[in-house]
Structure 1
Amino acid sequence: MAKTHSYGFRELTNDIHLWLGLASGIILFLVCLSGTILTFEHEIKDATREEMTVTPMGEKLAVSQLVTSLEEGGEGTVTGITIPAASDAPYRFSVKKDPSERRGTTVLVDPYTATAREEGASSADDFLFVMFRLHRWLLLDSAIGRPIVGVATIIFMVLAVSGIVLWFPRKVRWKSVKQGFKIKTAAGWKRINHDLHNTLGFYASIFIVIMGLTGLCWSFEGYREGLSAVIGAKVFDRSGPEFEAGAGAQETTISLDEAIASAHATLPGAGDLSVNLPAEQNAFYTFRKYDASAWSPVTYDQLYLSEQGQVLATVRFADKGLGERIAGLIKPLHTGEIFGTFSKILYFLACLIATTLPITGTLIWWNKLQKKRRRVSA
């Protein structure tokens, strides 16, 4: 008498994994493919646009001189500046010809010669924007595409967790478990395809879960608010600290160069420094200083300085609570920028694997279906 297997937890997990994977396969393939490309979005843009070569020679010109040169040259009004730590990199000036412009343009300036030119568009801009819309909204209207991608993201996390469960053999023994860590390349294509799905999926699963948990912050406002409540800090909080920025009109204002010197003194160490200049709505300097020696290249300290040189507030990343740090790192945790190039490579490989999982999973199902049909017809 043939032995029958009871329908238990493993069988239920297998069915959930199978049918959710088949139902969402095309969407997950498109989202992961676009995410793989966007992992190195900035590097692709830099490689496909004309660079400005800076040759260090003598002393750099004062930033105020460069601002005057740009504004008198008809470039527009400077609203922000990024001063790189590297001596052979151009300064980046945010310039608006019209105050009503939202972002303005970026002008690259040689700090030794004051040579300036507008940062040209990358030849890959249009392609990358399509990939961005595909990744976020499936090229649909955002109100329609955003929740679809959000649901697909939840499904992918369920697939990752259920895949880990199925990765373990029924009887957990080291001889059986270790087979799941490698791909048997000497076997037939069906076995290789199974190993590609099983083994590579296991390696990528932790990254899939991280990308999913963070990615949902863009898909569902309720999730974002719930996560903010759990960690005790607002995700995507762009507000600054509260302080009194007003000062008497008779008080002497400091120069831009003095403000920058004060920022370097308050936030010491090597690293890129960016500043937003005082404006009508924010009558103070806002500085960001990236620490080149920090564990992550995306963390920064902030300084708010009045036009009279008074330190209004200093916000150091190291002094933030755990929840505030997590909230501030949601985007780099999702994109892979958290540890720079090293983590980007890991994320790229994980996304590439994730792109193949719907294909290899569908082939596994199809092969089993064909095998079952042959048994029935035999």
Structure 2
Amino acid sequence: MLRLNFKKILSFIHLWLGLLSGLVVFIVGFTGCIYTFSDELKALCYKQRLYIEVPGNTQKLPFSQLLNIAERALGKDRKISRAEISQKPGRSYMFRAMKLNRKAFGYWNSYVYYDKVYLNPYTGQVLYIENAKKEFFTLVLAMHMNLMLGDVTGHFIVKWSVVCFILLLFSGIVLWWPKKANLKSFKKGLLIKWNAKFKRLNYDLHNVTGFYVFFLLLIIGLTGLMWSFGLTTEKKSTLQSDTTRQAAKLPADLILQKAIQTAPGTAYFLYNFPTAKAGTINLTAYQSERHLYDRISYKFDRYSGELLMQGPSFKNLSLSGQLIAMNYDLHTGTALGLPGKIMAFLASLVAGSLPLTGLFIWLHKKKKKNKQNKALP
């Protein structure tokens, strides 16, 4: 009797957590499916702006010269904040100008501007100028992270909906667990009866698929919450550039040259320009195009080009540091390569479908209860 009452109470909690967070989980799940393979889809859809033909015996133009070309292409009212510098011969350079209003409500109000320009690093040719606010994968990511409601409102809703979803996963496993722990009972909960009527098929799709992806969704959910609660955010550095010093050589070229010499096996660099006058150039050297965790961070004096700080490589981090560094790769499945991405895709697909199948189960029970109440007199 106690077990029955416990499951009844848990079922009630499971229902209302699902009703509260269902729509958000549905949106976050299906947008997560799309974004899992965003890199592969971009390589197919945006081939002309991402890839170039390498001319024979030609060196890349100085980074400072490419920066000037990008600034002219985007216009004086756009301040470049980041450059993506691929070290592969057949890849373009990307320069990004982005200004945010994080307190604004709604996606379109959050961006003052968000533009990208792609350049051929050998010739300086402008390959494409993109209004990134309207780019498909940017919209998908915004829907996934904050429902396109802005950082304050949307982030709050998604964060606590994911908390509800984690609780739903645990309560769902308890409700799935059979009353009799024997092989026949477990087998019933592990197989989908595909030839059954809609009611039974829908019930199996909710229960059985939910069981199979439990651990995957738990990892995806918890790594998502790591971002939401700021547990992966690095502490702000107190290092500053010396505004009284000036370099003999253009700092942008000097900094990139030093970074390449320090990490010659880098796949691509993210070159972040400072907003404050005494801010440092923050440069991240990604050692792999597939894994974001394998990276080294640098801070340079923006005026002299002097290396102020070099972060540890992934293998030299503590266990907790490695887990934090791997957060994105665990969230998207890229930590395990293509098989991991496929698993993350399928798990996200199931996550998006669970609110639907759960809603149908609830509606059917409600309909059945209404019929019983009408039949009582």
Q: TM-score, normalised by structure 1?
A: 0.75
Aligned partner of 1:177 among 173, 177, 186: 186
User: For the pair shown, which has the larger CA radius of gyration, 1 or 2?
Assistant: 1
Structure 1 residue identity aligned to 2:22: G
Offset from partner CA, 1:142-180 (integer Å, 9 cap, x none): 655544433332222111111111222112223432333
Correspondence 1:345-356 to 2 at 5 A: 345-356=342-353
Q: Secondary structure at the match of 1:289?
A: strand
Structure 1 residue identity aligned to 2:295: Y
Retained in 2: the 8 A contact 1:45–1:122? Answer: no
Structure 2 residue ranges without an equivalent (≥5): 99-110
**Structure 1 residue 303 corresponds to structure 2 residue 305:** no
- Count of matched residue positions in the alignment of Structure 1 and Structure 2: 356
Cα shift at 1:197: 0.8
Retained in 2: the 8 A contact 1:105–1:118? Answer: no
Change (3 A) 1:185 1:29: same
Compare 154-163 and 105-114 and name the one that shifted more: 105-114
Compare 296-305 and 67-76 and name the one that shifted more: 67-76
Aligned equivalents of 2:218, 2:325: Cα separation in 1? 19
Aligned equivalents of 2:97, 2:14: Cα separation in 1? 52
Aligned partner of 2:161 among 152, 169, 183: 152
Aligned equivalents of 1:191, 1:132: Cα separation in 2? 35
Retained in 2: the 8 A contact 1:270–1:293? Answer: no
1:357 corresponding residue in structure 2: 354
Compare 159-168 and 48-57 and name the one that shifted more: 48-57
**Structure 1 residue 70 corresponds to structure 2 residue 69:** yes
Offset from partner CA, 1:72-98 (integer Å, 9 cap, x none): 9666676643221322111223469xx
Aligned equivalents of 1:375, 1:71: Cα separation in 2? 70
Identity of aligned residues (%): 29
Q: TM-score, normalised by structure 2?
A: 0.75
Structure 1 residue identity aligned to 2:13: I
Aligned equivalents of 1:11, 1:283: Cα separation in 2? 58
Correspondence 1:234-273 to 2 at 5 A: 235-237=232-234, 239-240=236-237, 242-243=238-239, 245-246=241-242, 249=245, 252-253=248-249, 256-273=252-269
Q: Secondary structure at the match of 1:88?
A: coil
Retained in 2: the 8 A contact 1:285–1:304? Answer: yes
Retained in 1: the 8 A contact 2:114–2:131? Answer: no
1:56 corresponding residue in structure 2: 54
Aligned partner of 1:189 among 195, 198, 207: 198
Change (3 A) 1:140 1:63: closer
Cα shift at 1:140: 5.0
Aligned equivalents of 1:279, 1:290: Cα separation in 2? 23
Aligned equivalents of 2:71, 2:162: Cα separation in 1? 51
Structure 1 residue identity aligned to 2:9: L
2:207 corresponding residue in structure 1: 198
Correspondence 1:190-339 to 2 at 5 A: 190-216=199-225, 224=229, 228=231, 235-237=232-234, 239-240=236-237, 242-243=238-239, 245-246=241-242, 249=245, 252-253=248-249, 256-276=252-272, 281-282=277-278, 284-292=280-288, 296-306=291-301, 307-308=303-304, 310-318=306-314, 319-336=316-333, 338-339=335-336
Structure 2 residue identity aligned to 1:59: T
Change (3 A) 1:299 1:281: farther
Retained in 2: the 8 A contact 1:46–1:122? Answer: no
**Structure 1 residue 164 corresponds to structure 2 residue 173:** yes
Structure 1 residue ranges without an equivalent (≥5): 229-234
